[in-house]
Structure 1
């Protein structure tokens, strides 16, 4: 007889087509009802509170008087909580965001009582390959998932799931979702046939006689009558033994068969039985870019700077930083960051992220000011601090803004040697908006606002270097790029040329390979919704090639730039798309820059979006004939098919969604033949595609515009609508949107030089210009600092992830990871303090030696 573990739960979406305010109001009554039922009947429970502690935060915000009451039920094991802070997305947010989600979720849950030691992920839109690794780092070896599985990946719903580095969990799939046994009849005779039917369906792909049956649904109230029926239901049939249970009890029984479970390696993105919504990676790109800015600002700049200042004796505002993370993680839930919400909710998602950025930037500003005040100048002029959060010494072009009335000025280092620079942009600035004391003046003070690109050498590893702006000395060399009547730029390695037909050619001088039609803009239809991209069956594609373009070329000593303005004649909306009518001009500005001594092309793209129901991509033909490519995933790299084999099956098997080669990335996608090819490193862009008709081409999605939360019968998603059929006009994202990415032609494949370049591109140095024009005034900190400092150095091929204060001590946490498919050495860590390796949870030492397997993070703890 099969044991059916009935698991009572609720899946708590904080927001979706309703707002967090709506859900908090409901939560007050939901939690009161749950607690009252459990208190009045000791036989009830356990109840799984969706494995996210944010539900407790929300509840106790509106009912703080019930904290002791809820805590007692948690400590008794009647309410099961944790380990997540929020039910995060795994394909859009960063590795550090996921790490903090578990770190803060577990720490917060432990304040109430025991933490459910299950990686419960009921509704994430697809599962990353790295989930077993992430869970293992927090000593979790069991996972429950829903979306992304089918028998084409692994034959049973219970299996051993292994990440690239060998980390493994026992995984169990809810094949028909977390709501498959919701709203059961309350009378045993009525419930019996329903529960038998559902148990049989759950057993279809089961690997053992042990079955899960989740009883609950979205914001669903506690079905307290169900446990009391189980004895009568068991007595009424002999096919199943129904048990009021928990996920842990289910796995304890399954463990007896775990050695015989099939092994699976890889990500789970199959939409055969459940939609994974391959459109959320590019829905509301304005919000996606905000999130990427938030993650980068906090984990790669704020936390490292605060940690450095902590070692200088300044306080570390840990609660403030953790609360910044918590607020952002409310926006990282699968619906929230997927942006498959109502317009009102999307505005709240964006507001939380924008608020987090504002607080982080203000903390950065104040901490730079304290640091700058304490640095003893060794040259005349304004101090400019170049902060390098990567624990490796580097040379770098850095960019910053200055305001000056002078026609000329100099930059120099501590030894008085000139620092080469170039002016990349200039405008006029009313200084009353910068200097508070000028705001009441009757006359306007105008300065030059200049964006400066400076070539700074020998920036210390994890530390800073001070250079000096002297407005009394002339510049050394020609700092103004010269506009020339040419349509090409080049350096020692590359040549980039705009052709007469508006196509762009990139020549790699090292190999002689000519990459034609790079940076081609292609605009096409999207009649989909916030969940899924959906092109018309007969699409009206518009390419920038052959369309009008204007070009201005600027050549300078440090870098040269092509400034292109593409005017695409396109349909205004989906109605015009259907008829092939093009009545509107879409302006896209493309700024392409080649540095004098770098083998890549930096691109800035501004889409002035004035049309609807469309998607615009940048294309990069690679001339590589292979069936697979690589992209980065959290803490690593993954190989994917150019054309998923499942594309031959999905229509005849009636899948819920087409498994098109529309993929997520963290920042990088690579297509090469082991030697030559192209890589794209993007800042905040999360989606790329390999088109069926262009298997050698990387297509990066800039944005897509749609007007509905959900719609039915889409090209790639037939059948019912996902979510709700609600208008979502803000998702047309009208207005200007700016994107940045770098194109790297590969000459020796993904070698050490390539990985070094990508790491430096992802985390450029941060610059602070030490004027007295701060928005807020503070007393000077009584300290004195050297004008150049390196706190420590890590000689390693691993990639930097973050530097932060440890959660439960004043020690320092430094994290890196292996970005490649090769096993790397940990490298040499140079510090005067004691150093040990720990897990992501910062809770136990990791003695795994000096070898770092692919897709593996390395976390070091440095004693203060």
Structure 2
């Protein structure tokens, strides 16, 4: 069979989808029964020596919630290396969540695993649909040296083992599993002959691609545990001669690779190929409300709750650990690969929506409580005719933007006139956008609410130069005749079919299409905002057009427009496109019967803002179709740039069709933006939770198409034109037809300087995370500044991604990364003196060799050196 000795590492395992074709509770009931038997067999040393539990610690938590009496058995098995758990809390989709969610997933997996006696220090991801470019750095910073994966393998790699490098040059040993966790399974081996045939087949197929001349073979449990025991006995008979077959773990396999000192090929960049495994690109745009809600929750929890709870802790020594941890756990449950992808039955979606609702309720309360507490620590004296309004900015750069604010007055105390005034007594542009009767609820203590009838005013006003990770105080004046005020000139202009600010003029042409003029550079961006509707007879995993697809474009239908909200702060142009699209589609074509598809789009220009913000509303009445919004760029380009967690990635436009298991026509993943440019012209398309886009070429034009939603009716189908193979059971999912009201938010940012990426990054996050304004009710002397930055980082290419209170000690953790492709020297300034600092990894363990890159400049300031695209975590003790 082979002349050289071949070590075959058999890894008994179980791949478990926590919620997928059945809801969680029904899946768990089955899992608990299986787990009972696995524990019994491991305790009795009955054939199965070790068992790997799918890399997800959450499975132990699920089990012990039903069987708490088994805790000691779990601890004993994990501590003795018989039950292998972690390193993740839950299996996730790296392209649909933030970088900080990925890190928290590993951190929580580590914390939970330690409760049970240990952790598997290998990044085991057998089913994730590809991997982001910065994953090696995230793994290394989480104490892991290797990745074992299945989906996304690069087509250029001939060996199953290679070195995968992140942008900062940190690297892991990566091992590709050709058939994932199913190389062997209990249904393949029923007798001695099956075992012999399977071993011969595995060696023949997989050994030529092994640089280590060894094989890592997961043995997946699909039948009763007794069948795995029998199979292992059959397999053990062939442990002779040059074949060394033994039960083991992944760490021992990695150790063999290291011991042999094999020179492995080194690669970098994302792993998203589909020549050797499926990557399910259709999940990027199915059930879009789940993705939009996830982005919203991540921003609330990371940028508001954690960040300002940490600042409030430095002022009050109070930190809501329990609620933050609960929110993270619920969020990570929603980020389970099948859950965030929306590739599950409709009952599961209802569970996800309920968890989202709970997290939002918790976060809203924590944000209100924390910002109110900080407000009440600000020393500020005002007269009877004034209220102090505090504008908070969670991002790591100074911002000027329009802020929304609400205030309640008792009916007989509502003022007749208002002004917003800054620290220089200059009146700032504002607009009352709503006045209504309200029932105001104020909690006197933690249990007893007091209800008052009030008049609620909702304002928008211009907040200028709000400090990074800080606040700025404004005065809301009620009796303006007592004040002498300076005023700013109104720069918003309204014409018959266009609106204009300092930077752009936007208009609607005779086809109902948006046209943009960059006033400063005299550059036109024509044919923006064209809606495209095509057939989709795919499933939740893959888009598939009908054989004779017919696409419908908004520019071929009637439209109307009007201009509203003409005020000193902003102007909005409303565009209504009255499309008619087929009621449904089949594999051959789209139906002849049409239904209405009215799209109402709000296009807003704001005072002193370099973005064009857009909101589109549509009620979907059709089935089996895909709706995209298209933007034309009158240059042909070969590559583009897109945000991924902790980096901006350069992607080629060309799609290699050869040997792909999934064909062209499906989308690519993005986070907050995609950017294209050529010569002295460029444009960035920013989104709120719209993860799928495509780059199309049409003659001398490049088209960016962002998918708004896919509407389909099946979890999985067998014979799709765009995919080889089947994914899961053929189950109907009528809720995935998305027949409901949708709201999509996105923004256009004309920008041309690709050499400086930070302005794009900043505009994308400004759009996704607007400032919050709070009324100040009490006063204190803790903070005696009208405006203050709690932490500043320089230069702009260094971006703060997370600030949180450690749960291990009194330290404050601050994480940032370098956007640039070059080493950057910078500094971090804090609002108060600190005593000690250290560089730590994602698990908050010190990294001694990094100490030389950070130095204390003065009692409040650190100097830092960050390598290209490097992610750095500091732990500060105040």
State the Cα deviation string for residues 473-514 of structure 1 (Å, max 9, x = none): 479779999996611112232221111211111112333322
The yes-or-no answer on 1:399 pairing with 2:404 is: yes
Q: Distance in 2 between matches of 1:492 and 1:788?
A: 27
Q: 1:840 is matched with which residue? A: 842
Q: 2:166 is matched with which residue? A: 163
Count of residue pairs brought into register by the alignment = 838
Paired residues of 1:37 and 1:224 also in contact (CA < 8 A): no
Paired residues of 2:239 and 2:246 also in contact (CA < 8 A): no
- Aligned to 1:401, the other structure's residue is in SS state strand
State the Cα deviation string for residues 735-767 of structure 1 (Å, max 9, x = none): 222122221111333525444434433433222
Q: 1:469 is matched with which residue? A: 476
1:593 aligned to which of 604, 612, 637: 604
State the Cα deviation string for residues 577-631 of structure 1 (Å, max 9, x = none): 9356362221211111222322221111222222222211111212232211110
Q: Return the offset for 1:464.
A: 1.9
- Aligned to 1:178, the other structure's residue is in SS state helix
Q: 1:550 is matched with which residue? A: 560
Q: Distance in 2 between matches of 1:582 and 1:59?
A: 51
Q: Distance in 2 between matches of 1:513 and 1:239?
A: 70
Paired residues of 1:385 and 1:767 also in contact (CA < 8 A): yes
2:526 aligned to which of 516, 524, 534: 516
Q: 1:355 is matched with which residue? A: 358
Paired residues of 1:271 and 1:659 also in contact (CA < 8 A): no
Paired residues of 1:483 and 1:553 also in contact (CA < 8 A): no
State the Cα deviation string for residues 324-351 of structure 1 (Å, max 9, x = none): 1111111112111111000001221222
The yes-or-no answer on 1:739 pairing with 2:738 is: no
Q: 2:795 is matched with which residue? A: 796
More displaced stretch, 610-619 vs 299-308: 610-619
- Aligned to 2:568, the other structure's residue is in SS state coil
Q: Distance in 2 between matches of 1:278 and 1:538?
A: 22
More displaced stretch, 351-360 vs 780-789: 780-789
More displaced stretch, 131-140 vs 817-826: 817-826
Q: 1:409 is matched with which residue? A: 418
- Aligned to 2:294, the other structure's residue is in SS state helix
More displaced stretch, 14-23 vs 803-812: 803-812
The yes-or-no answer on 1:300 pairing with 2:285 is: no
Paired residues of 2:123 and 2:144 also in contact (CA < 8 A): yes
Q: Return the offset for 1:179.
A: 1.2
Q: Distance in 2 between matches of 1:422 and 1:218?
A: 63
* Aligned residue runs from structure 1 range 488-527, under 5 A: 488-527=498-537
Q: 1:774 is matched with which residue? A: none
Q: Distance in 2 between matches of 1:416 and 1:51?
A: 59
Q: Distance in 2 between matches of 1:287 and 1:759?
A: 20
Paired residues of 1:421 and 1:455 also in contact (CA < 8 A): yes
2:430 aligned to which of 411, 421, 424: 421
More displaced stretch, 19-28 vs 630-639: 19-28
The yes-or-no answer on 1:213 pairing with 2:254 is: no
Q: Return the offset for 1:99.
A: 0.6
Q: Distance in 2 between matches of 1:584 and 1:362?
A: 42
Q: Distance in 1 between matches of 2:429 and 2:592?
A: 51
Q: Distance in 1 between matches of 2:663 and 2:191?
A: 41
Q: Distance in 1 between matches of 2:137 and 2:54?
A: 21
Q: Return the offset for 1:63.
A: 0.8
Q: 1:661 to 1:641 in 2, by over 3 A?
A: farther
Q: 1:196 to 1:662 in 2, by over 3 A?
A: same
Q: Return the offset for 1:137.
A: 0.8
Q: 1:537 is matched with which residue? A: 547
Q: Return the offset for 1:533.
A: 1.4
The yes-or-no answer on 1:805 pairing with 2:805 is: yes
* Aligned residue runs from structure 1 range 618-629, under 5 A: 618-629=629-640
Q: Return the offset for 1:262.
A: 1.2
2:24 aligned to which of 13, 20, 25: 20
Q: Return the offset for 1:534.
A: 1.5
Q: Return the offset for 1:42.
A: 6.7
Q: 1:483 to 1:734 in 2, by over 3 A?
A: farther
Q: Return the offset for 1:406.
A: 4.8
- Aligned to 1:233, the other structure's residue is in SS state coil
Q: 1:417 to 1:301 in 2, by over 3 A?
A: same
Paired residues of 2:494 and 2:500 also in contact (CA < 8 A): no
Q: Return the offset for 1:397.
A: 2.4
Q: 1:479 to 1:612 in 2, by over 3 A?
A: farther
Q: Distance in 1 between matches of 2:759 and 2:153?
A: 37
Give ranges in structure 2 of 5+ residues lacking alignment. Answer: 445-450, 854-863
State the Cα deviation string for residues 554-579 of structure 1 (Å, max 9, x = none): 43323222121221121122259935
More displaced stretch, 605-614 vs 727-736: 605-614
Q: Distance in 2 between matches of 1:517 and 1:486?
A: 19
Paired residues of 1:379 and 1:416 also in contact (CA < 8 A): no
- Aligned to 1:418, the other structure's residue is in SS state strand
Q: 1:754 to 1:38 in 2, by over 3 A?
A: closer
Q: Distance in 2 between matches of 1:662 and 1:836?
A: 42
Q: 1:36 to 1:371 in 2, by over 3 A?
A: same
Q: 1:308 to 1:91 in 2, by over 3 A?
A: same
Q: Return the offset for 1:828.
A: 4.1
Q: Return the offset for 1:91.
A: 0.9
State the Cα deviation string for residues 762-783 of structure 1 (Å, max 9, x = none): 4332222457xxxxxxxx9998
Q: Return the offset for 1:640.
A: 1.1
Q: 1:815 is matched with which residue? A: 815
State the Cα deviation string for residues 429-464 of structure 1 (Å, max 9, x = none): 341376799xxxxx99674553x3221223233222
Paired residues of 2:560 and 2:576 also in contact (CA < 8 A): yes
- Aligned to 2:182, the other structure's residue is in SS state coil
Q: 2:237 is matched with which residue? A: 232
Q: Distance in 1 between matches of 2:407 and 2:622?
A: 36
Q: Distance in 1 between matches of 2:212 and 2:765?
A: 46
The yes-or-no answer on 1:173 pairing with 2:176 is: yes
- Aligned to 1:82, the other structure's residue is in SS state coil
Paired residues of 1:370 and 1:781 also in contact (CA < 8 A): no
Q: Distance in 2 between matches of 1:303 and 1:701?
A: 31
Q: Return the offset for 1:792.
A: 2.6
More strand as a share of residues = 2
* Aligned residue runs from structure 1 range 29-44, under 5 A: 29-41=33-45, 44=48
RMSD: 2.8
Paired residues of 2:837 and 2:875 also in contact (CA < 8 A): yes
Paired residues of 2:54 and 2:85 also in contact (CA < 8 A): yes
- Aligned to 1:68, the other structure's residue is in SS state helix
Q: 1:611 to 1:189 in 2, by over 3 A?
A: closer
* Aligned residue runs from structure 1 range 49-60, under 5 A: 49-60=53-64
Q: Distance in 2 between matches of 1:757 and 1:507?
A: 19
The yes-or-no answer on 1:701 pairing with 2:707 is: yes
State the Cα deviation string for residues 307-336 of structure 1 (Å, max 9, x = none): 011001141121321221111111112111
* Aligned residue runs from structure 1 range 172-211, under 5 A: 172-183=175-186, 184-185=188-189, 187-211=191-215
Q: Distance in 2 between matches of 1:844 and 1:383?
A: 43
Q: TM-score, with normalisation over the residues of structure 2?
A: 0.90
Q: Return the offset for 1:795.
A: 2.1
The yes-or-no answer on 1:123 pairing with 2:134 is: no
Q: 1:321 to 1:393 in 2, by over 3 A?
A: same
Q: Distance in 1 between matches of 2:827 and 2:222?
A: 48
- Aligned to 1:639, the other structure's residue is in SS state strand
Paired residues of 2:286 and 2:736 also in contact (CA < 8 A): yes
Q: 1:261 to 1:693 in 2, by over 3 A?
A: same
The yes-or-no answer on 1:721 pairing with 2:722 is: no
Q: 1:456 is matched with which residue? A: 463
Paired residues of 2:499 and 2:573 also in contact (CA < 8 A): yes
Q: Distance in 1 between matches of 2:688 and 2:295?
A: 7
Q: 1:359 to 1:410 in 2, by over 3 A?
A: same
Q: Distance in 2 between matches of 1:396 and 1:220?
A: 61
Paired residues of 1:181 and 1:195 also in contact (CA < 8 A): no
Q: Distance in 1 between matches of 2:568 and 2:207?
A: 69
Q: TM-score, with normalisation over the residues of structure 1?
A: 0.91
